[in-house]
Structure 1
């Protein structure tokens, strides 16, 4: 997968002043493409997920993952831009998917970038990627120095308990991997206190605790009836996508 930015706009003109400004801004920026999809049928749309290294020189903590949708009018030979910034790749992918990008096309990030460290990271990212408008982002912070990571403070519109959710991403430069975890809090004040303090473990969502209890029950049944009683491809079997959802270019990961 190429990291070079190409919106495929040869022969097209901006449809309005905002699109003209956006095109100049993105070409002048420092974007590295993480994933992209260009509509194959008639080329009317392009979707790009990119890391903007120029953000690191701006306000500390600002999100660095840029999601871009380009729409082309093939009759008028004009184009329009939509774009937004996110703290983590899976939320940027969510934004693009909600605007018509095929999920499987934008979810595959090059092996050149950091990879999920474990299955739980892949599952949490998949949850965010396909969540629609479930999570309302309240705040976020990106650190591209040691420690390398991001947090995103959200409100879960579907959670009956602990509706404030923190998605914590932590990178390991040496291993070239990262983890993503979800924490649950009763209110925003409690979540911000944990983010400032971090002297205790990230509180698990209530639904995760239920999953853990179910897994313990399954394990007990396995011990009593024999391991072969539960197939390897059971409902708790997961595999990390080969391309992962790693955010940033090697050798280091700007966050």
Structure 2
């Protein structure tokens, strides 16, 4: 499948009367704008094509669902505002993730590590919308209030884990598929609870937004397994974050490079 074929397929799957399509062949992306709201999104086509090669029609179903739910959320916001119980969660993104919307509004963000940054999301049930600074006044919140509310909410999320063992090393997976699995990395109580269980070196990984991996690394093989595991999740996740893992020590997260045959190098952590 090429980019032109993908655009035509998406046009067939989405209601054409709602949207204006602008296919930028040079940038290999398409701009999809709601005709009434005058708001929209940019869609990178190579990423979807790569996902299609792996998952076939399921990849198209996923992107159509995401686009449809996002515009439904925009319509609800336009018609109803932010009345009622506003639910906000933090979400983890790569530091290469855009810092502003396609309309030039800067997202509400906070530094996390040299590899990751915290964004904030308005939960809409089946999807969520990243919060930009133009939304704060409508929500009646300051940035500090929003961040505190999000941190409180993430602590209430379930943290049940599934355990796997490879060559004497243990790996614990949080995978609820609620859009906030990686966000559990901000739950300090949970990390300290896991630290008490770990007998080797504790690692924390967020290769994409829908998984958090805690490692109990007890021998050199454990690092190789961890590197392969995180790279696999990073390349197959819908929203990749980072293929690097973190050593967790004294409440701090320090990114590490796992090089050939178990050599580990550390990066300076974010102050």
**TM-score range normalised by the length of the shorter chain:** under 0.3
The two structures have a TM-score, normalised by structure 2, of: 0.27
Report the structure, 1 or 2, having the larger helix content.
2
The two structures have a TM-score, normalised by structure 1, of: 0.28
